Structure 1
Amino acid sequence: MRKTLMLAGFLLAAAPALADEKPVLTVYAPEYFAGEWGPGQKMAEGFEKTCGCDVKVVGVDVLPRILLEGDKTPADVVVGFTADVMQRAKDTGLFAPHREDLSRLTLPVAWTDDTFLPFDWSETAFVYDKTKVKNPPKSFADLLNAPDDAYKIAIEDPRTSLSGLALLLWVKSVYGDKAPEAWAKLAPKVLTVAPGWSEAYSLFTKGEADMVLSFTTSPAYHIIEEKDDTKAAAIFTEGNYFLAETAAQLKGTKHPELAQKFMDYLLSDDFQGMIGVGNWSYPAVMKPGFLPPEFEALPKAEKTLFLTPEAAEALRAPAIEEWRQAFRK
């Protein structure tokens, strides 16, 4: 009898704690997204207000981690894949359909993928310092045919950086079989090949490089946060390469309903309204008031270049080899 009473007392004492326990949704995201200055924390806080759950945003190199963990991954959702690596991710068979209405998207390209959901986008561009670059290139041809000492450029390694891979496929889209010749002309103008976007952009902001591979929306940060209008993106007549960040839910998630609600949240007004000054990109679903007026002053690409995930994956390995030969990497 005494043991029964003791057990009943223990269960009553434990009940409130058990009732207060919330499910935890684990989101894998790139380091920049999950870090102090990225939108990951605001995203988590916004979703937690609606889900009755806790969100754990884990900063990782997303695709390599998923490939390593396979169906044992603790992730429920991943964010940060681009179209350029979507096919590799899809081939794992680890991801479930997003079940979202894609007609709501306001992208400059057609998007039909039923698994990877875009939540923001921009276009790849060389961002330059107007105080150092008086005659910025207006085309890839201008850039490649300029004297070798005309620019000091920081780019990212396509083997370790999604923006670096975007440059690789941008060159391939413009030059096709002549890409090796294009790389040979560009290489002497490259000051450094950084492992990632953060390292390359840091060299630019420190003044060590006068041009950096980034995005057409990058100058908005300097204009809005620093009141500095000396940074601009070069718009190329051949076109600028489209890059969207996407999210996907894992088939093996322990919280499928929460994962689906999270996908819904990514296209909500609440999250899409954060994108402009949260991730310095364009929202995937544009509505009035989502962007500050400074974005309107940014130059727009005359032509958007985009490779399907299948085409990007088919080109990736040979294009990396062409790049490696030019840079002796």
Structure 2
Amino acid sequence: MKYLALATGLLAATQAVAETPVLTIYTYDSFVSEWGPGPAVEKAFEETCACDLQFVGTGDGAALLGRLKLEGARSDADIVLGLDTSLTGAAAATGLFAPHAVTAAYDLPIAWNDPLFVPYDWGYFAFVKNTTLSAPTDFRALADSDLKIVIQDPRSSTPGLGLLMWVKTAYGDEAPAIWAGLADNIVTVTKGWSEAYGLFLEGEADMVLSYTTSPAYHLIAEEDASKDTAAFTEGHYMQIEVAGKLAATDQPELADQFLAFMVSDAFQSIIPTTNWMYPAVTPKSGLPAGFETMIVPQKALLVPADQADAVRDQALAEWLTALTK
């Protein structure tokens, strides 16, 4: 009889696992790393959803859209998290995303009313350096210097793409000349942010493309005040990271629940000290001590999402031409 009871218990457990809904979210690798937001977000959401939240790392941010285009409506993803406003226009054009119904009191530098994408954090691109380095204050001066920089590939990385948009927005038709000047400063172009930042920390470059908030990690997590960012007088390009629900998801209600959770205090309070960005909705506890020491650009640059495709294509062509000469 005890064997029958054991078999019955195992069957019930198996059925319970089979009936647990699974929400699959494609995102970038650093989000799901052990030091990124993923583990804490997964734990917090699963406490509320009676589901199994599964993050799938797909490289860096810009690679998300490429994978999604390849998979189309057959994708296993229910949500894509990690696109930004340089890519949302192209993402919307695929027809693969469904509208959301999320409303929030966003603390963003711009008004937000996108019907397909929900923002979860934002920041400014910048070059991180050692505080002892006297850095140039614009791209022209950087190109004229002997400083070595590491950047990311704009075809696979949202920071890399952000740099293209930054230079193009700041310099317009002069952007090709800026890239021609910068070509000698670039040590290497990495596929993603993690590889580039690692090279900088290993001393392979004087500066690395990252964010104005990146030194907060060293200051708060490592109690290391040796890193800061170079302030550029032409301004800094802004990034707003977003998530969207796929129209073909087989878990639409669960996906909606996650998008709503994403702008809650439980999610937003995780962002500053794991993704090291500004939260889209400031948590009740405010920003951690140390964030107030980060530079605030005097000028914020951002191409509207509905114009980003054209600017991106031209900027990418100019970048490729300059770096292949």
One fold, TM greater than 0.5?
yes
Q: Distance in 2 between matches of 1:314 and 1:274?
A: 34
SS, match of residue 293 in structure 1: coil
1:176 aligns to what?
172
Give the corresponding residue for 1:142.
141
Structure 1 residue 205 corresponds to structure 2 residue 206: no
User: SS where residue 155 of structure 1 aligns?
Assistant: strand
Aligned partner of 1:84 in structure 2 is 86
| Residues 74-113 of structure 1: CA deviation (Å, up to 9, x unaligned) | 11111000111111111111111121115x1101122221
Write the deviation string for residues 192-238 of structure 1: whole angstroms up to 9, x where unpaired.
Answer: 22221111111110111110111000000111122111111112221
1:232 maps onto 2:233 in alignment:
no
Query: Could you tell me whether the CA contact under 8 Å between 2:77 and 2:249 is conserved in 1?
Result: yes
1:97 matches 2:99: yes
- Cα distance in 2 between the residues matched to 1:160 and 1:24: 27
Amino acid in structure 2 at the alignment position of 1:322 = E
- Aligned counterpart, 2:114: 113
Q: 8 Å contact 1:156–1:213 — kept in the other structure? A: yes
| 1:51 and 2:44 are equivalent in the alignment | no
Q: CA deviation at 1:58?
A: 0.8
Query: Where do residues 213-252 of structure 1 align in structure 2 (5 Å cutoff)?
Result: 213-252=209-248
CA contact (8 A) 1:121 1:284 kept: yes
Secondary structure of 2:109's aligned partner: coil
Q: Relative to structure 1, is the Cα distance of residues 13 and 201 closer, same or farther in structure 2, using a 3 angstrom cutoff? A: closer
| Pairwise CA distance, 1:299 | 1.2
If the length of structure 1 is used for normalisation, what is the TM-score? 0.91
Moved over 3 A (4+): 10-17
Count residues with an aligned counterpart.
Answer: 314
Structure 2 unaligned runs (5+)? 1-6
Distance 2:10 2:91 in 1: 46
Q: Distance in 2 between matches of 1:15 and 1:195?
A: 46
**How many angstroms does 1:12 deviate by?**
9.6
Distance, in Å, in 2 between the alignment partners of 1:51 and 1:210 is 45
Matched-pair contact (CA < 8 Å) for 1:126–1:212:
yes
* 1:134-184 CA distance string (max 9 Å, x none): x2122334323x33x2x1111111122111110001000001111111111
Where in structure 2 are the equivalents of 1:1-329 lying within 5 Å? 14=11, 17-19=14-16, 21-60=19-58, 61-102=63-104, 104-131=105-132, 133=133, 135-144=134-143, 146-147=144-145, 149=146, 151-328=147-324
Segments of structure 1 that go 5 or more residues without pairing to the other structure are 1-9
**Following the alignment from structure 1 to structure 2, what is the Cα–Cα distance between the partners of residues 215 and 325?**
26
Output the TM-score relative to the length of structure 2.
0.92
Is the Cα–Cα contact under 8 Å of residues 77 and 249 in structure 1 kept in the other structure?
yes
Separation of aligned partners in 1, 2:233 and 2:281 = 26
Alpha-carbon distance, 1:189 to partner:
1.5
Let me know the Cα RMSD of the aligned residues: 1.8
Mark the structure with the bigger radius of gyration: 1
Judge conservation of contact 1:29–1:59 (CA < 8 Å) in 2.
yes
**Hey, what's the Cα distance between the residues in 2 that align with 1:59 and 1:243?**
20
Report how far residue 35 of structure 1 moved. Answer: 2.1
